[in-house]
Amino acid sequence: MLRLFSIFILFTGLVFADGFDFTLIKKGQQDDNNTLFIVGGIQGDEPGGFMAASLLSTHYDIKKGSVWIVPNFNFYSIIKSNRGPNGDMNRKFAKLSNNDPDFHSIDRMKKIIKEKNIKMIVNLHDGSGFYRKKYVDKQHRPSKWGQATIIDQAKVKGIAYGNLQEIAKKVDKHINKNLLKKEHIFHTKNTKTHLKKTYEEKEMSKTLTYYAIGKGKAAFGNESSKSLPVHERVYYKLLALEKFMDIMGIEYTRKFKLNARELKDVIDNDIYISFNNKKIFIPLSRIRSHITYFPVEKGAKISFKPSSPVMTVIEEKGKYIVYYGNRRLTTLVPQYLEYDKFDGHLKVNVDGKVKNVTLGSLVKVKKYFNVQVDKRVRVNVIGYVNKKHKNESGLNIRKKYIFKRYSIDKDGKRFRVEVYDRKVKNKFLGMFLVEFGA
């Protein structure tokens, strides 16, 4: 049995409720009547879509205009790495029974789509092969979906940005100026959904984009090829989204250079999670597959703040699994402890310089550290063994004194420094991390 705990998303004003509900993130000027709405994760086995949407929500700032983002529309599907455990969610926008497990999510999404300030919608997917207008080979032919901007029809009269084909070709042109390989060229694929004659046209009439068009919204699909690694799929999606924003007059900045190598680094390494009101902070890059004796408060729900809206923690058989999209990053094996408050800081000598260190922080160390003696606390450095000292404050601790297997990372650089109430045995106050080799 899987149990999803409450997530307090690391975005102002957002709370992710119990269950696998999706997150709506609003960025930019909220009174703007020219909003771009981006949807990722409608199918959980398409990580390019939900990772691109997630990065747009965390690593972009909207300086002018308005962008709304749902990175994790089918969160349960994402965790399961499945197209749709309850059926394909992107075929449920025409008719849907109230008893369908996805009814609440679809109904909520429909209400968002109908918001009057939304003028354009982009639904992010990963598709098979490489779309070509004429047959080349099995991987490059008209029936494939990868590397394509999808439209349901060429034009929609009477709506903003109704010149769908013209806009799609502008997006393709922008992407094609920045290709990693010639094979990755983008084309516009018009499914001609409105005709509803062929099987494909009838199927596409059940999709999110066609529903949106029926509600007077310009809507596009973006398909990057499943033949590409995830970071390259995300690269092409962000190129497309930036062009859509340019077309709408939306101004933005991003926190990284848009190239495949830096994107891979951001996706894999700029990830972290904090627990229990920031008492515990865990960088998740190169995290070990299991962390034992993880401090969890007795009798309380575990709460956490992830760096990404496609990150969550699930209890399974008494352990806590950290998921990042459909990647299972680590398993936390709990040690249940009494908690107490500690709002101050500790004085820590780091390589000869005394610093004020708060719990839930990461301290970079070159040679040694020494948590200065404090009558309030007892210090336990996980992996450090000194039978003469039950309290490990006041000791110069070097990397060579700590067993590497107790590091939280695969490289053996990051170690836990747990802090307890000195007067009450095992009353946990929090912890900080030290990272050697800085």
Give the pLDDT confidence of 373-404 residue by residue, as tens digits. Answer: 998 899 999 999 887 888 999 999 999 999 99
pLDDT at res. 31 = 83
Find out whether 222 and 153 touch, Cβ atoms under 8 Å: no
Backbone angles phi, psi at 191, to 5 degrees: -80, -10
**Structure-token pair, residue 328:** 């299972």
The residues, any chain, with a CB within 8 Å of residue 33's CB and separated by 6 or more, are 116, 117, 119
* Residue 214, pLDDT above cutoff 50: yes
Three-class SS of residue 41? coil
Q: Which helix (H) or strand (E) holds 177?
A: none
pLDDT at res. 30 = 83
| pTM of the full structure | 0.93
pLDDT at res. 4 = 42
At residue 334 the predicted structure's pLDDT band, cuts being 50, 70 and 90, is: very high
Q: Which helix (H) or strand (E) holds 159?
A: none
**Percentage of the chain modeled with pLDDT above 90:** 88
Find out whether 365 and 350 touch, Cβ atoms under 8 Å: yes
Nearest-10 Cα torsion for 104, 106, 112, 116:
-120
At residue 423 the predicted structure's pLDDT band, cuts being 50, 70 and 90, is: confident
- Strand pairing class (35-39; 3-4): unpaired
Three-class SS of residue 178? coil
* Residue 10, pLDDT above cutoff 80: no
At residue 438 the predicted structure's pLDDT band, cuts being 50, 70 and 90, is: low
What is the tens place of the pLDDT at every residue in 339-384?
999 988 999 999 999 999 999 999 999 999 999 999 889 999 999 9
- Per residue, the 3-state secondary structure of 45-72, as one string, reads CCHHHHHHHHHHHHHEEEEECEEEEECC
Find out whether 269 and 308 touch, Cβ atoms under 8 Å: no
Quick one: 214 exposed, middle or buried, by C-beta within 10 A (0-12, 13-18, 19+)? Answer: middle
pLDDT at res. 389 = 82
Over residues 49-71, mean pLDDT = 98
* Residue 7, pLDDT above cutoff 60: no
pLDDT at res. 277 = 85
**Structure-token pair, residue 372:** 């200065």
Q: 272 - beta bridge partners? A: 283
Q: Which amino acid is at 75?
A: F
Q: How far is CA 410 from CA 256, 290, 340, 414, in A?
A: 25, 10, 31, 9
Compute the Cα dihedral for 112, 113, 117, 118 and give only its sign: positive
Backbone angles phi, psi at 354, to 5 degrees: -80, 130
The residues, any chain, with a CB within 8 Å of residue 398's CB and separated by 6 or more, are 367, 368
Find out whether 60 and 253 touch, Cβ atoms under 8 Å: yes
Q: 3 - beta bridge partners? A: 315
Q: Which long-range contacts (CB under 8 A, 24 or more apart) does 5-9 make?
A: 5/301, 5/302, 5/303, 5/304, 5/313, 5/314, 5/315, 6/301, 6/303, 7/303, 7/304, 7/305, 7/306, 7/312, 7/313, 8/303, 8/304, 8/305, 9/305, 9/306, 9/309
Helix-strand-coil split of the chain, %, nearest 5: 25, 35, 45
pLDDT at res. 19 = 60
Quick one: 210 exposed, middle or buried, by C-beta within 10 A (0-12, 13-18, 19+)? Answer: buried
* Residue 78, pLDDT above cutoff 90: yes
